[in-house]
């Protein structure tokens, strides 16, 4: 699977595998990869073709489609609540986890990035607010595609609370760059997802039973996106 590189501006690139994307950001002092791909194993090498700045890595969360090239790095930033996903659920061994917490700011040099914890899709999911460019890199929770909410460690109540936190921060960004679906999307999507997730929790959303990765799940299409959830017990 090839990686298509798209330039957003002089300091930002999208790396798109087709089903998942990750991002390269540069400042005046260093560069940062946001996630490292799914099938890609040479994200560091790809980034070196675009910048000669020292390169670091941050993961929005530890699902396998976001950590494909983590083995290239001695260390990576991640919320510690995601450690069980990375080291236990998916058996990763490489790299030292450097913790990032809610409200932390990583500065690439004239480009501060603020961390916002967004648990629900996974316990340690984070969004990254690009203060200078008024963007947020949302990982999986904010998108118009299929949002996985089935399997270990996913929880819809926490997800809705995280959407409320994103809404509260929305004065700080104009665009949302998700890992899946349309890119970019815009802040009005957050409230639509909040309302749709509420319908799923209330049992008023219409769902279709189907199979994803060998799992029987319910697909709740709420108009703005689809939530893939556990099949309710009868």
Burial class (CB within 10 angstroms; exposed 0-12, middle 13-18, buried 19+) of 208: exposed
CATH superfamily of 4-146+153-202: Ribonuclease Z/Hydroxyacylglutathione hydrolase-like (3.60.15.10)
Burial class (CB within 10 angstroms; exposed 0-12, middle 13-18, buried 19+) of 93: exposed
Residue 87 vs residue 28, higher pLDDT: 28
Q: Work out whether strand 105-107 and strand 96-99 pair parallel, antiparallel, or are unpaired.
A: unpaired
Residue 69 vs residue 90, higher pLDDT: 69
Closest CA to 40 of 71, 4, 9, 3: 3
For residue 40, what pLDDT band results from cuts at 50, 70 and 90? Answer: very high
Q: Does the pLDDT of residue 228 top 80, yes or no?
A: yes
Lookup result for tokens 């060998």? 214
Which H helix or E strand runs over 207? strand 207-212
Cα distances (angstroms) measured from residue 62 to each of 38, 121, 169, 203, 228: 11, 11, 24, 29, 18
Q: Write down the domain spans for the chain.
A: 4-146+153-202
Mean pLDDT, the chain, whole residue set: 95
- pLDDT, tens only, 73-109: 999 999 999 999 998 766 677 789 999 999 999 999 9
Contact 7, 15 (CB under 8 A): no
């Amino acid at each position: 699977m090839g990686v298509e590189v798209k330039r957003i501006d002089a300091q930002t690139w999208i790396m798109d595998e087709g089903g998942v994307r990750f991002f390269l950001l540069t400042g005046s002092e260093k560069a940062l990869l946001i996630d490292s791909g799914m099938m890609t194993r040479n994200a560091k090498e790809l980034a070196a073709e675009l910048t000669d700045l020292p390169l670091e890595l941050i993961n929005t969360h530890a699902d396998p489609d976001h950590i494909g090239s983590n083995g290239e790095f001695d260390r990576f930033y991640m919320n510690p609540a995601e450690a069980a996903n990375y080291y236990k659920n998916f058996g990763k061994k490489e790299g030292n986890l450097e913790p990032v917490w809610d409200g932390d700011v990583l500065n690439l040099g004239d480009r501060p990035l603020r961390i916002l914890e967004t648990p629900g899709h996974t316990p340690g999911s984070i969004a990254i607010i690009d203060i200078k460019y008024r963007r947020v890199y949302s990982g999986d929770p904010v998108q118009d595609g299929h949002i996985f909410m089935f399997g270990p460690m996913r929880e819809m109540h926490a997800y809705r609370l995280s959407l409320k936190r994103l809404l509260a921060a929305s004065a700080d960004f104009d665009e949302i760059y998700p890992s899946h679906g349309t890119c970019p999307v815009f802040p009005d999507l957050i409230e639509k997802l909040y309302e749709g997730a509420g319908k799923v929790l209330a049992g008023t959303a219409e769902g279709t039973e189907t199979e994803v990765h060998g799992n029987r799940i319910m697909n709740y299409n709420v108009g703005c996106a689809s939530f893939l959830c556990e099949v309710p017990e009868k």
